[in-house]
Structure 1
């Protein structure tokens, strides 16, 4: 009897928990991109029984050149093709852009769940497969994406796992996103309650978001950490789910405010922004819609009251009430007075309908490649291992428990010299002395002890000793630190051995870019710098070059500037100089790339 009562209690508890959030809402709100692409259809107001929609534009900026259709004696270019099931779900999406055709296909279970999305493009023979699987309660369980390349090669792309924890009054879900490198890139946490849920996204623009049910949708009513730390955004809606106002606040009070104003039938919608900490009216956006909900008017009014340009739309509708032709016009406004209308966009939509749902015959889904099954366990296991190693590494580096130099040892392979927590960047082989045997050079990135990501980089030189590799020399200045490349990241750009010299390359900058090539040779019992080649400049602006053969003292320097002016665009000013400057060769261990300067023709070159 007691066992029976206990069983009933467990069953009742399970039923209560399962009602926290309906699976349909769960799968919709969990922000899965594949599901959203299959359902994100704002192109028509009522997609039911629509078979397909093909969209053409008269613009020439994004068309496929060999796909042109003459409509109304004008050339139109296809930009989008959508195919629907009779229930309104998209099963095929084709877009055309810059000579490439992108295709996505969607496959569903009989209960309506999306189980597969495929992606391919005309310029690449490979196909991406995104498989979605659901648990017994019909909640999304995981999405696994892999790529099939030439010769049936399989390559892992992404795994998203939905780790669920059922609690008495909530359902907690950790969305674990494993990227193409098999590492755990993000973990977003959803906590569902009855009629609301909370999302924690530690590395996104909205750190913590609160959603509440409004009819058949959930809308955000509060977002913490909105774009910046310490800012909270609050939202209010009317009974139809239209926004009424939005406030941004921080620890000092109101930061920004936006109000939304509507007429009785919502055909006119005004967005009023406030500046000066949300106290004075700023920019106003006026949008008007027809009775079908299609935009017909758009204008921005500055905070001074000055009206800007006007955009309007005209439509032609089919007998089902969906528009099949749209014309967008632009009116320039000067000193408050609108000028003549100009047609700026002409869209044609070819819409086909089913006469009966029975006309639709779903395409058979491709089969799951069983070779990909291993990713479900191997990827999380590998990610967990790397995460553990990284944690140990961070703790060791913080405590200073790592090698500061390469130990004087012998190994069969160069890779075996790598100290723990160091990263081997590159190895090169070649002859560096008078014997006929190859030596080796390697570059390493050491841990950043202060946590700023700027790690010292080390150059190591190896030679053979009785069949094994032995450390010949290690240097801590010839390779720039890992964060010295500016926007380009790590500046180390390669190492090689040529003409019995070590050749080190660096590259960095942002708009203004620079490059270094330094050559080092062993002579007179030590390593010396024998050559420096420097390049720097910005596109359509200037470029400089400095080539210094330190062995001979020969210098060739040049500079070219491209000047833009109203009289003559891209006018150029350039010069080139050759000179001789013999100096004692700098030792490798005393030299820092970019730390020495030479002035030529009044311009300073850093090498």
Structure 2
């Protein structure tokens, strides 16, 4: 809102803030590094933040010690120069760099894990400006690996009385993720924004755009915004400000219309939010004179009486002499059946600079890191164009069907020679699976496909014959997990091919299928399925050679409800031997139903 308000005020005062809008660190997401809730009154030197949650308060009422969460250090120019953040996973320390103690150039973040952490990580973000202080590049690199994490490039073009700024965002794979073009008029007002989306194949997708209009009506001023997609209005925003630049009405229309009205008084301001989805109620928020949230909940739409039985949150503050809060109490009512309770206490220990006190020093920018960041991204735009052309060519061939449908070569000197056009090898393992005391190869390929019905993976078996490899068989129905967002792996154990699938969306599912060469062909001989979520678990183990089945279906209470009645756990042992084992070439995992009881069935 602050950027929009600034643009509006420049427009109203007939200023020309083109450079202020385009090149200032605020415009394209580069902040002064200070979180909004830490922009305090006075010349702050350090802030230490402690907290205690409701659980901690309940467990240890006598202990008045609070957990240290973070520490912030500022220079006398009111710039954040370093911070420390602590969590159960470890410590994160960030150092911020400036030009002339105030103009932001970047920051270095070092994450140090504790016993719960995963790995140490160091990243460096650098903001590259030209001689006119226009932002050219926003670069983030990983220092210890070294790797590019994110790269944003800016291009500027003057067109008649308009300034066009193009933003190009590249991912860690050096491909263009998206492009945004922002247009400013001669007065520096943002009048249009166009987005050029890029899909997973790096092709330009739909192009939604946003238009802005500024209007003066009496003593009020309006900023109208329309988000347009495919020629149709997708979202509509209408902001109204008073002559002091304070917002007094905010209308947002997309799936439904929300109207917010802001009422100002000597004690702060109130926000009334109306939406038909709220029914007889309306949203309500109250802020004090320091813009701190005091209450958020609901009112009766007609009487404007607080709905104290509904969800709400209250904040109480204790302030220091500078007018900054040093303790905040959060009271919450999260459900009509639960009483309001003290959810969290946050304490801020704030120290201020004395009049003649020397400022904390900014650390100098490491020029080696700057050179590393700039050299890392120097060739990315050109490389991304070439890579995109290759991907587009790949997509064109798939669309035209110019790729291998199956392995057509029957024998070759090496395994790579069997690979069809546009196929890639995902996994290759060796072992005796034919029982001939020699080592065969099992290879998993990822292959192109034109439709969802077409297989995306192929498992192939190769056997050695002298100095050549011979294709023994290829199977398109065995690798299934990838299409459900999971992963598959293949192993060879005791002369059997073992395919393991792991799918962790919704239910966590782990499936294992075993295939053995016998009677001159490959057959399915074993299935193991484990699937569960918090309150329910299923395990199915089937030895097809013997017909032995073990089945478990259990239930657990994961809710906080008392005396919740759970279904009875089921444990079964039975024998169902098939007259004919399924051939590996005919078997499709997950498509075979087995009825265990009247109410219990499983698909394997």
TM > 0.5: yes
Structure 2 counterparts to residues 32-181 of structure 1, below 5 A:
32=29, 35-36=30-31, 38-46=33-41, 49-59=43-53, 74-98=64-88, 100-110=90-100, 112-123=102-113, 124-149=119-144, 153-181=145-173
Q: For 1:284 and 1:358, how far apart are their aligned partners in 2?
A: 48
Contact 2:153-2:169 at 8 Å conserved across structures:
yes
Pairing partner for 1:242 from 242, 246, 254: 246
- Residue aligning to 2:9: none
Taking structure 1 as reference, are residues 496 and 384 closer, same or farther at Cα in structure 2, changes over 3 Å only?
farther
Write out per-residue CA displacement over residues 293-312 of structure 1, whole angstroms, 9 at most, x where no aligned residue: 33444442255756334655
Structure 1 pair 472–269 and aligned structure 2 pair: CA distance change class (3 A): same
Q: Is the 8 A contact 2:21 2:188 kept in 1?
A: no
Q: Say if 2:409 and 2:418, in contact at 8 Å, map to a contact too.
A: no
Post-superposition offset of 1:523: 3.1
Deviation at 1:154, TM superposition (A): 2.2
Measure, in 1, the Cα distance between the counterparts of 2:313 and 2:602. Answer: 53
Cα deviation for residue 256 of structure 1 reads 0.9
Q: Secondary structure at the match of 2:386?
A: helix
Where does residue 541 of structure 2 map in the other structure?
546
Provide closer, same or farther for how the CA distance between residues 537 and 143 of structure 1 changes in structure 2, counting only shifts above 3 A: same
Tell me the distance in 1 between the aligned counterparts of 2:74 and 2:101: 16
Secondary structure (helix, strand or coil) at the match of 1:320 reads coil
Structure-2 change in CA distance of 1:269 and 1:507 (3 Å)? same
Say whether the 8 Å CA contact 1:117–1:129 is kept in structure 2: yes
Find the aligned partners of 1:429 and 1:51 in 2 and give their Cα distance: 64
In structure 1, the residue matched to 2:429 is 428
Which structure 2 residues correspond to residues 152-551 of structure 1 after superposition, within 5 A? 153-193=145-185, 194-197=187-190, 198-202=192-196, 207-210=208-211, 221-224=224-227, 230-238=233-241, 239-249=243-253, 255-265=256-266, 267-275=268-276, 282-290=281-289, 292-303=290-301, 307-309=306-308, 311-329=313-331, 343-355=342-354, 356=356, 358-369=358-369, 370-408=371-409, 410-411=411-412, 413-450=414-451, 455-480=455-480, 482-483=482-483, 485=484, 489=485, 491-508=486-503, 510-548=505-543, 550-551=544-545
Secondary structure, in 3 states, of the residue corresponding to 2:120? strand
Counterpart-to-counterpart distance in 1, 2:480 and 2:223 = 47
Tell me: CA distance 1:114–1:599, structure 2 relative to 1, closer, same or farther (3 Å): same
**SS at 2:66's partner residue?**
strand
Q: Output the CA distance in 1 between the equivalents of 2:222 and 2:64.
A: 43
Structure 1 distance, partners of 2:400, 2:47, is 62
* TM-aligned CA deviation for residue 502 of structure 1: 1.5
> What is the SS of the residue equivalent to 2:36?
coil
**Deviation per residue, 1:461-499 (Å, 9 max, x gap):** 12234434442211122222742x2xxx1x441111222
Distance 1:379 1:53 in 2: 40
Q: Distance in 1 between matches of 2:533 and 2:518?
A: 37
Q: Is the 8 A contact 2:121 2:142 kept in 1?
A: yes
Structure 1: which 5+ runs fail to align?
Answer: 1-18
* Matched-pair contact (CA < 8 Å) for 1:459–1:478: yes
Q: Which has the higher contact order (CA 8 A, sep 6+)?
A: 2
In structure 2, C-alpha distance between the alignment counterparts of 1:206 and 1:235, rounded to whole Å = 22
Distance 2:504 2:321 in 1: 59
Could you say if the C-alpha distance between residues 349 and 25 of structure 1 is closer, same or farther in structure 2, counting changes exceeding 3 Å? Answer: farther
Q: 1:229 and 1:413 mapped to 2: Cα distance? A: 56
Give me the whole-angstrom Cα distance separating, in 2, the residues matched to 1:94 and 1:453: 52
Asked whether the equivalents of residues 32 and 104 of structure 2 are also in contact (C-alpha less than 8 Å), the reply is no
Are residue 590 (structure 1) and residue 592 (structure 2) matched?
no
What does residue 13 of structure 2 align with? none
- Residues 50 and 129 (structure 1 numbering): CA distance in 2 closer, same or farther, change over 3 Å? same
Instruction: Figure out how many residues of one structure are paired with residues of the other and give that number.
Output: 559
Residues of 2 paired with 1:211 and 1:589: CA distance?
A: 61
1: CA distance between counterparts of 2:418 and 2:307?
A: 67
Q: Contact 2:539–2:553 (CA<8 Å) still a contact in 1? A: yes
Deviation at 1:22, TM superposition (A): 1.0
Q: Kindly tell me: are residues 173 and 111 of structure 1, through their superposed partners in 2, closer, same or farther at Cα, counting changes over 3 Å?
A: farther
- Equivalent position of 2:201 in the other structure: none
Deviation digits for residues 382-436 of structure 1, max 9, x if unmatched? 4333322221122222222222112215555534533333343322221222334
> How well do the aligned residues superpose, as a CA RMSD in angstroms?
3.9
Is contact 1:195-1:213 (8 Å) kept?
no
Q: Hey, what's the Cα distance between the residues in 2 that align with 1:528 and 1:560? A: 31
Q: Is the 8 A contact 1:449 1:455 kept in 2?
A: no
Q: Is the 8 A contact 1:555 1:581 kept in 2?
A: no
CA–CA distance in 1 between the matches of 2:257 and 2:388? 40
Evaluate the alpha carbon distance shift between residue 425 and residue 240 of structure 1 in structure 2; reply closer, same or farther with a 3 A threshold.
farther
Tell me, what secondary structure is at the counterpart of 2:53? coil
Query: Where does structure 2 lack aligned partners over 5 or more consecutive residues?
Result: 1-15, 114-118, 199-205, 216-220
CA 1:566 to 1:403, structure 2 compared with 1: closer, same or farther past 3 Å?
A: same
Tell me the SS of whatever aligns to 2:110. Answer: strand
Question: 1:591: how far off?
Answer: 1.3
Give the superposition deviation at 1:125: 3.4
Q: Provide the secondary structure at the position in 1 that maps to 2:367.
A: coil
What is the CA-CA distance between 1:134 and the residue it aligns to? 0.7
